[in-house]
Amino acid sequence: MACSRLCVQRLLSNNGCYRNISRLFVQRLLASNGYYRNIYPVCYKSTKTNVKTDKMVKDEEKEQVEVSTQNSDTEDNEHIKIMNYVTSVPLFTTDSEEDKSHIEAEGQFKSLVESMSIRIIPSVSTVIKNTQSAQSEFFLNRWKGKMIEELGEEGFKNYQQDTFRQGTNFHANVQEFLSGKSLDDIQIDPANEGHWRSLQKVFPLIKNIAAIETQILHPTLFYKGVFDCVAVYKDSLCVIDWKTSKQPKPLLSNTYDSPLQVAAYMGAINSSQVLADKGIDNVKTGVLVIAYPQGYPAHVHFMDQKTCTEYWNKWLERLQLYWKKTADKKLGLNLVKDDNSEYTEMF
């Protein structure tokens, strides 16, 4: 196929706008009457290959973004699958052998947590605090606002310090008593005298103390805490948690996130087998004791096995959310989607 003289003239009239075709080359074509075989197809191909319209550039950029998004979504989905291990961990241990897939999931979750370079294992209270619902956060902030309005900034700070000190002394007194110390040798802070009176009808129901104020770590879910007591309450082996409150809490639902703490400690105790040397493989029930500064009889909330399991599942959801948020922050992932705005930011 020959390049016609008309074709060459058209090339020349474009003033060199066809890429890779110099004006001198076109002039030589014209001088030779255009009989350079196959030159037109070559010119056409070169033009199509090297000239990109704005639309082509935009389409390529869009395609690159779509591929990047797809890759990111695929990576997030893989991490979400790994995070699903958290909600699969049972509250009670069994003698049956774990299946291969569960062991593999456990290893993948451990590797993911290690990749986050966590310096401090989160405590139960840290996880609960940083995964509060927006509603809980709202009511907490409203309460703080009212207290500050009443007491002032400095007064509210002193109030918090006093409350913390009273709680610390209260737990220390209970620990001393359950450890067998004589009542005459226990020094009750005046601010805790009401709390102490509040517990007098509870103490006779507790026996066979297995552990008091013991640090615990869940070996595969990687959270820690200090549980108050494991003992027999009314013939049931229980995780016992002591709380103080100025407001009456006659119902378990009035205790907010406290049952989550009991379930979290129970799961860590059972999984770590920390009490195995005392012949305790599983603790299956819990007790929340609420003492009052006015000296009113304490409210005792017994949590049976079913109730403990329900709160364990809720705890696992909160713990999974905590690890997802941590992974998003540390690894730049997007595991907590925007539709989870029900929860507050933690960092």
10-18: which pairs have CB atoms within 8 A and are 24 or more residues apart? 11/43, 18/43, 18/46, 18/47
Name residues whose C-beta falls within 8 Å of residue 170's C-beta, 6 or more positions apart in sequence: 192, 195, 242, 244, 291
**Can you name the residues that pair with 214 across neighbouring β-strands?**
227
| CA–CA separation, 148 and 198 (whole Å) | 29
62, 162, 228, 339: the catalytic one is: 228
Helix (H, G, I), strand (E, B) or coil at 241: strand
55, 184, 224, 243: the catalytic one is: 243
| CA–CA separation, 328 and 325 (whole Å) | 5
Which tokens go with 30?
A: 């014209």
Q: Is 228 a catalytic residue?
A: yes
58, 62, 146, 241: the catalytic one is: 241
Which among 119, 150, 130, 126 is positioned nearest to 330, based on CA atoms? 119
* Other residues' Cβ atoms within 10 Å of the Cβ of residue 175: 16
Dihedrals phi, psi of 162, to nearest 5 degrees: -65, -40
Q: Is 243 a catalytic residue?
A: yes
Which DSSP string corresponds to 254-306?
GGTTHHHHHHHHHHHHHHHTTTGGGT-S---EEEEEEE-TT-PPPEEEEE-HH
| CA–CA separation, 287 and 240 (whole Å) | 5
Helix (H, G, I), strand (E, B) or coil at 225: strand
| CA–CA separation, 142 and 33 (whole Å) | 91
Hey, which residues are catalytic here?
228, 241, 243
